[in-house]
Chain A
Amino acid sequence: MSRFAKPIGFALLFCAVVIAPFLVSNYHTYQLGFVGLYLVALVGLDILTGFTGQISLGHGAFMGIGAYTTTILVVDHGWRDLWTIPLAGVIAGAIGVAFGLPATRFSGPYLALATFAIPLSFIGLLKRYPHFTGGNVGKNLPQLHSELGWHVNPSIWFYVVCWVVALVMFPLAFLIVRGRFGRALRSVRDSEIAATANGISTAGVKTAAFGISAFYCGVAGSLYAIGITYVNPDTFPIDLSILLLVGIVLGGAGSLYGMIFGALFVEFIRISWGPSILNLFSKAHHIDTHAPGSGLVVYGVVLLLVLYVAPAGAAGLIRQLMTLVTRLRRKKDASLSDPSLV
C-alpha cells in the first residue's frame, strides 16, 4: 500500500493543481500561483530545517537574491524572465554555499543568529549600491503576460509557471531526502556526535543542505519578482524570513507534503484569512479592525492556536487523526470479535 502512496499522492496533487484554476476566480488563481512559489521555498527550507535540523532566520534574503537576479537580468539586460529562473536559483545557491561554508561550523542557536545577519546585510547592500539594485526606489519589471504562444489571462499564466516549477522541484526534494544523503541529513539532525562517529562530515552535509535550500529559495524568489512585477528592499523584509520558518513549523517540519499547508498559510494568512477572521470578530464584538497592527494579532493568535492544537504542524495533525481512526476501527473490530461483549 505505502509503495503506491507517493505516486498516488503526487497524482492527486497534480490533478488538484490542474483543476484549481477552473474552480476559482482569476485573482485566487493569482494567489495560488504564490502558493506554488512558497511551496518551492518552504520545501527548500524544510530540507535544511526539517531534515537537517538547522534553523535559518535568513532565507527570505535568498528569495531576495533570486528576485533581484531575475529583475536585473530582465530590466537591465533584456533577458526573457522565464530563462532567468534557473540562474536565479544557481546564484542564490552559490551564495548559500559560500555562506554555509563558514557558518555551518556553528550549531543550534548560534547558526540561527548567524543566518539572521543575511537579511540584515542583504537589505543594507541593496541600499548601498542603488545604481545596480535600484536602491530604495526599486525596479519595475514588465507586467505579467503570457508567453510561448499562449493567450491566457496573466494571472493564469503566472499560476502555470509557478506550478510547473513547483511540480518539478517538489518531487526532486523527495529524491534529495531519500537514500544515503537523506540519511546523512537526518543523522546530523538527530545527533551530530553520532553522525561524526559514523564518518559523516557534519559541516559538509550542513553546507550542502544550506546550498540546496538557498537554491530552492532563489527559484521561488525569481517567481516572486515575476509575480509582483516590482522589487525594492521593503519587498524582502526580515519578517519574510520569519514567515517562511513559521510556514515550515505549521506545515510540519520534516514532512514534505506538509509544506503544502505551510505554503497556503504563508500566502493566505496576511492577505485573505487574517482580515476575514478579524472582520468576523469586528461584527460580533465591535473590535476596531483597522486599529494599527490588529492583523498581526490575528496572525499571532492563529500561530499559538496551531502550535497548541497541532505541535507537529498540519502533517502531524493529520497523522494523529489517522492514528485515532485506526484505533477506533481496531476497537470496533475487537468488540465485534469479543463474544463477552455481544
Chain B
Amino acid sequence: MRKTFLLIATALAVSAVVVVTAGATSSATPGVTAKSILLEGTFPLSGPASGYAPIPAGMGAYFAYANAHGGVNGRKINWHYEDDGYNPANTVQLTHKFVEQDHAFALVGGLGTEPQTAVRQYLNDNKVPQLFVSTGATTFDRDFATYPWTLGWQPDYEAEGAIYGKYVVKNLSSAKLGVLYQNDDYGNDYLRGLKAGLGEAHQSMIVSAQPYDLSATTPPAVQVAKLKASGADTFVIFATPTPTIQSYVIATKLGWSPAHVITNSVSATDPFLTIAEKSGSNIVEGTISINYLLDPSNPIYNKQPGMKLYRAIMAKYDPKGNANDPLNLYGVAKAWTTVQVLKAAGANLTRAGLMKAARSMVYTKGKNNANPFALPGVAVFTKGNFQYPISQVTVIQYQNHVFKPLGGLINGRGALR
C-alpha cells in the first residue's frame, strides 16, 4: 500500500511539476508590443568568469535611462538577463527559454566566445538576432555571410593584433619581437593580426613566437626563457589574465628586462597589472596596450561629456555599482549602440529590420552621432562586407597605475581589408 502510493506520487510529480506559462504574444513580431520591447541575454554572474557581471548591470542602467527619456519610438525596453555560469550547456537551455518561452525580440550582449558559439546556429536557424556579443573572437564579425543574425561589437582580437603590428612598425622600427601566445583560436587570432599589421616587409621583426597551452599545469616558464634566449627586446603577450601575470613575474625572475612589453587588452587592466607588480615583476611599468572606450578609472577623461553622462546614469540607475569599473562603462556603451540601432530600425519593428539597421551603422564624429562613451573619434561602423562595428582604438601605456593614451586613433581593420 505504502509503496504503491509512493509510486503514484512519484509518477504524478513528473507531469505536475512544471508550471505552464502563457507565452504567446499578440503582436506579429515576438517580444514587441505597442509599448515594450523585450531584450535578453546570458552572462556569467557566478563561476570563474563572474568578474564580468557588471556588464549587464551597466546595460540595464543605460536602458533605464533611455526608458526615462522616451524609450525607443514610444516603446520601453524590458531588459532581462540570466546567469549561465559560463557553462555553454546552461547558455543553450537559457537561450531556448528566451526564444521559445519568453519570446524575446532579440538577444543582446551575450557573453563569452564558447557560450555564444554554442547558441549561434540555433539563433540563426530561428532567425533571432544575436546582437553585439561580448567577445572579441573574430568569427562573430567575419562570418556574417554564414550567420546573418549574428554580430559582434568590440574590436576583434585579430584587429587588435594588427594595431600592435602597425604601432611597432611606426614607433619601434628596430624592435625584435618575442611573442607568447595561447595555443588556440584566441591566441592565433592575435598572432595572425600582428603579422598582418606588421605587413610582409616586417614579418622578420618577430624573432620568436612561443605557444603555450591553456591546460598546462605549470606557468609558461620554458616559453619565456626561449623568448629571452632568442634575443628579443620587446615582449608581446597574447594571453589570458593568469598566464599573463605569470609571464610578467617569470621574465623578471629570469633576469629578462625587455625594453618594451605589449599586452593584449583582455589582460592589460589595472587590477591584473597591479597583481603582477606586487608578485615581483619589475617590467609592468610602461606596458603598452589598447583601448577604445572612455576609462572611468583614469581621471583625465572626467571632463568628457560622455563620462559626465555615464557617471550621472550610474548614480541614478545603478547606485550600488562601482562606477570606476570599466566593465560598467562597457555595458553602458553597448546599450547605447543597441538603442540607436532599435531607433534606426523604425517604428514598425521587426527582427529583420533590426539586423538591417545593425548591418549599416554609421555612428561617427563626422555625422555628430558618435557613441559618447567611446574615445572621441571612435566610430561604430558597419557597411556591406565590412561587419566589424568598432575597429578604431588608441594605443595606451601604463604609467603610475594609470593607462595614458599615446597619440590618436588607429584603425586595426585598415591593414586587414
Contacts and interface: CB of A to CB of B under 8 A. Distances in A.
10 contacts: A20-B15, A24-B18, A25-B20, A25-B101, A138-B117, A264-B14, A271-B94, A290-B81, A315-B10, A319-B6
Interface residues of B, number: 62
A234 B50 CA distance: 14
Nearest to B8: A12
A31 interface: yes
Given A32-B18, A323-B2, A292 B121 contact: no
Interface in A245-261: 257-258, 260-261
A8 B5 CA distance: 10
A13 B10 contact: yes
Interface in A1-18: 1-2, 4-6, 8-10, 12-13, 15-17
Given A230-B92, A293-B45, 12 more contacts: A5-B3, A5-B4, A6-B7, A23-B20, A31-B18, A136-B114, A228-B89, A258-B10, A260-B11, A290-B57, A291-B45, A295-B45
A292 B45 contact: yes
From A32, A123, A234, A270, name the one whose CB has the most chain B CB atoms within 10 angstroms.
A234
Interface residues on A, range: 35 or more
Contacts of A311: none
A12 B88 contact: no
Interface in B94-113: 94, 96-97, 100-101, 113
A228 B114 contact: no
A281 B213 CA distance: 43
From A32, A137, A268, A319, name the one whose CB has the most chain B CB atoms within 10 angstroms.
A137
A155 interface: yes
A137 B185 CA distance: 7
Interface stretch (A124-132, A182-190, A205-213, A332-340): A124-132
B13 interface: yes
A12 B14 CA distance: 10
B53 interface: yes
Nearest to A137: B185
A9 B18 contact: no
A261 B53 CA distance: 32
Contacts of A318: 5-6, 9-10
Given A30-B96, A235-B88, A13 B213 contact: no
B3 A20 contact: no
A229 interface: yes
B94 A322 contact: no
Nearest to B16: A16
A61 to B, nearest CB: 14
Interface string B53-69: 10011000000000000
B121 A229 contact: yes
A107 interface: no
A260 B4 contact: no
A32 B45 CA distance: 25
Interface of A: 1-2, 4-6, 8-10, 12-13, 15-17, 19-20, 23-28, 30-32, 34-35, 123-124, 126-128, 130, 135-138, 140, 143, 155, 224, 227-230, 232, 234-235, 237, 257-258, 260-261, 264, 268, 270-271, 275, 288, 290-296, 315, 318-319, 322-323, 326
B118 interface: yes
Contacts of A130: 183-184
Contacts of A140: 117-118, 120-121
A255 to B, nearest CB: 8
B1 interface: yes
Contacts of B255: none
B114 A232 contact: yes
B348 interface: no
Contacts of B15: 16, 19-20, 23
Contacts of A31: 18, 93
B92 A137 contact: no
Contact of A124 (B9, B14, B215): B215
A295 B53 CA distance: 13
Nearest to A141: B121
Contacts of A16: 11-12, 14-15
A158 B184 CA distance: 32
B8 A322 contact: no
A237 B88 CA distance: 10
B15 to A, nearest CB: 5
Contacts of B101: 25, 27-28
Contacts of B90: 270-271
A146 to B, nearest CB: 14
